[in-house]
């Protein structure tokens, strides 16, 4: 191999190396970092747990929203608490804190926040609604019903309130009222399985067995694996003197995982 050939090979090798280095440099350092907006910057600080300017409350507002969007409800509550130390009368933030407490199942504390809002603004229908939900979760059924009634009287648009109020009314043996609420809810949500299931319970409790049977059948059409629907339908069939159907539904309920059905199944 003569000298000229060796020189050409060396030049080609060097050229390839330079090109590779250029590509690596471009991919590593050549792209400018995009400039973050204020919200993005503060949100990034929240994710990285960096220190915020403690004197800049606006940072806390943005971070609270960012944490809430990331389902960091405890973190959002923490920031809201700091803001409220400087802005004591901000009812919107008190309500927001109550919602975040509700989302972490701190229902007693949530009720306190919603009650605080209602002391200053007794026409806040959404505070009644969410306080009613919190009371429902704590089995405070009478308080829950009163809150739902207040929210409805104030013209709340949330149709779900009728479903939840129906659940409370069943617990308080107000079966006709519960049926009315489930009827209203089902006009807006015709495939709401749990509404059919719950209305079936209400119909059965007030002796409307044929209507109860239809509702449990509908619930099972929507979900053939609803073990509690088989269990409840069993007692409707028993009330209709269908003892074979009663036994079969108890067996199906048990086989699908509702172990409580065994206590009745062993008696058949």
CB of 132 closer than 8 Å to CB of 144: yes
State how far the Cα of 48 lies from the Cα of 69, in Å rounded to an integer: 15
CB of 220 closer than 8 Å to CB of 229: yes
Nearest to 71 by CA among 99, 51, 50, 29: 99
Cα dihedral 89→95→97→102 (10° resolution): 150
Q: What is the pLDDT of residue 34?
A: 45
Q: What is the DSSP string of 112-150?
A: HHHHHHHHH-TT-HHHHHHHHHHHHHTT-HHHHHHHHHH
Least-confidence region, from 21-25, 27-31, 215-219, 222-226: 27-31
What's the mean pLDDT in 74-87? 91
State how far the Cα of 105 lies from the Cα of 93, in Å rounded to an integer: 18
| 109-134: pLDDT as tens digits | 999 999 999 999 999 999 999 999 99
**Per-residue confidence band for 89, with pLDDT thresholds at 50, 70 and 90:** confident
Q: What is the pLDDT of residue 59?
A: 77
Q: What percent of the chain has pLDDT over 90?
A: 68
265, two tokens: 């199944």
- Over 90: is that where the pLDDT of 259 sits? yes
Q: What is the pLDDT of residue 63?
A: 84
- Over 50: is that where the pLDDT of 254 sits? yes
- Over 70: is that where the pLDDT of 4 sits? no
What's the mean pLDDT in 152-178? 97
| 5-51: pLDDT as tens digits | 656 666 666 766 666 666 655 554 444 444 545 455 545 555 544 45
Residue 217's H or E segment, with its range, is helix 209-222
CB of 222 closer than 8 Å to CB of 249: no
State how far the Cα of 93 lies from the Cα of 117, in Å rounded to an integer: 10
Cα separations (Å) of 266 from 230, 251, 253, 254, 258? 16, 10, 13, 11, 14
Domain extents in the chain: 34-87
């Amino acid at each position: 191999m003569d000298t000229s050939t060796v020189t050409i090979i060396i030049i080609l090798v060097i050229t390839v190396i330079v090109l590779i280095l250029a590509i690596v440099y471009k991919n590593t350092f050549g792209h400018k970092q995009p400039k973050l907006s204020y919200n993005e910057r503060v949100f990034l600080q929240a994710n990285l747990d960096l220190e915020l300017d403690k004197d800049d409350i606006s940072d806390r507002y943005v971070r609270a929203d960012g944490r809430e969007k990331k389902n960091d409800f405890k973190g959002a509550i923490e920031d809201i608490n700091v803001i409220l130390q400087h802005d004591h009368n901000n009812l919107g933030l008190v309500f927001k804190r109550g919602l975040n407490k509700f989302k972490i199942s701190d229902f007693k504390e949530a009720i306190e926040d919603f009650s605080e809002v209602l002391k200053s603004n007794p026409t806040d229908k959404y505070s009644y609604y969410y306080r009613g939900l919190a009371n429902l979760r704590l089995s405070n059924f009478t308080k829950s019903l009163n809150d739902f009634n207040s929210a409805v009287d104030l013209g709340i648009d949330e149709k779900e309130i009728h479903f939840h109020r129906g659940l409370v009314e069943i617990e308080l043996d107000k079966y006709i009222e519960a049926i009315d609420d489930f009827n209203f809810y089902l006009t807006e949500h015709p495939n709401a399985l749990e509404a059919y299931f719950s209305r079936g319970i209400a119909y059965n409790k007030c002796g409307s067995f044929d209507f109860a049977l239809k509702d449990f059948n509908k619930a099972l059409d929507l979900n053939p694996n609803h073990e509690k629907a088989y269990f409840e339908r069993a007692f409707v069939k028993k009330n209709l003197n269908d003892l074979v159907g009663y036994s079969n539904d108890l067996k199906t309920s048990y086989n699908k995982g509702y172990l409580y059905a065994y206590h009745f199944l062993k008696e058949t």
